Amino acid sequence: MSRIPHSLRSPAAVIGFALLFLQILLILFAPLLSPYSPVEADALASLQPPSAAHWFGTDITGMDVFSRVIYATRINLLISVVSVAVAFLIGVPLGLFIGYYKGIVSSLVMRLFDFIQAFPIFVLGMALVAVMGQEIWNVAIVLAILFTPVFARLIRAEVLSLRERPFVAAARCSGASDLHIMFGHLLLNALLPAMVQVSISIGMAILLTAGLSFIGAGVRMPVPEWGLMVSSGAQQMILGVWWVSLFPGLAIVFSVLCFALLGDVIRDLLDPTKTRRAVSTSTDIIPGIGGPL
């Protein structure tokens, strides 16, 4: 137990990994855990309250809420993880280049990012999905477009603060190429904020996906998706039908909480100031390389 990092033994880490493990189980074993089809309606079972037959009740079309919540885990996490992964893979190298090379190209890219981020993210996402179509992959592409500037700006800011450091000058003097300096030295030092942002962005992507579906701009019925389920039950809540919206709403809360907690854990694990306490602050260290240049 003593060899396990303290950050992994904290209550936040335990809760975060437990929620992540639960979601992975739901994704992998959804057909085994779901007692009903998530897309088959049964008019005779419309709006039944939670019971032994339907643990989370049924919605207005008679579809089982419990089964739809389980299958929606696949849809929401698929969209969120894919979109953030694409944004990370595009934004990180892009931010690295525009941070290392100064010029008109870097300025044009930054102005493009300013233009994208000048719009309210929810409004821009809604407009892009309306143009591209309400399909699962289109929603993922739109979210990737929205999150790419976030990762690019994070990496650029780190590179700008590192490119004039002594270890970069030493690498140039040793004959290292620009690509080697960027990917062998600068990227390793600049990745920490982006790695933490991955977990936070997945939570934000879950909220955006649910929000777009809630207003009818995301995926369409009968696809099981948490925001769409909350929307379908919102009109019945005033009539006392609380279960249709409550359970998918709780699923959103716990899923976002999971990735928020994991973001803090990743930050603590990767923070070089905590893993290299014996190193003098006056020495330039490249995390992952093993020592000063």
Could you give the percent of the chain with pLDDT greater than 70?
A: 89
286-to-192, 195, 292 alpha-carbon distances in Å: 12, 16, 7
The predicted structure's pLDDT at residue 42: 82
Compute the distance between CA of residue 269 and CA of residue 275 in angstroms, rounded to an integer.
Answer: 8
The predicted structure's pLDDT at residue 252: 93
- Is residue 289 pLDDT above 80, yes or no? no
Q: Are 199 and 113 in contact (CB under 8 A)?
A: no
Compute the distance between CA of residue 254 and CA of residue 262 in angstroms, rounded to an integer.
Answer: 12
Across the range 128-137, mean pLDDT stands at 84
The predicted structure's pLDDT at residue 221: 81
pLDDT band, residue 91 (cuts 50/70/90): very high
The predicted structure's pLDDT at residue 275: 45
Across the range 264-289, mean pLDDT stands at 52
Reported as a single tens digit per residue, the pLDDT across 150-164 is 999 999 988 888 887
* Contact partners, residue 168, CB within 8 Å, separation at least 6: 162, 181, 185, 186
Structural domains of the chain in order of their starting residue, each with its CATH number:
80-272 (1.10.3720.10)
* Contact partners, residue 254, CB within 8 Å, separation at least 6: 19
Least confident of 32-46, 178-192, 268-282: 268-282
How long, in residues, is the chain? 293
Reported as a single tens digit per residue, the pLDDT across 223-239 is 889 988 998 888 888 88
Question: What is the reported pTM?
Answer: 0.83
Across the range 83-105, mean pLDDT stands at 90
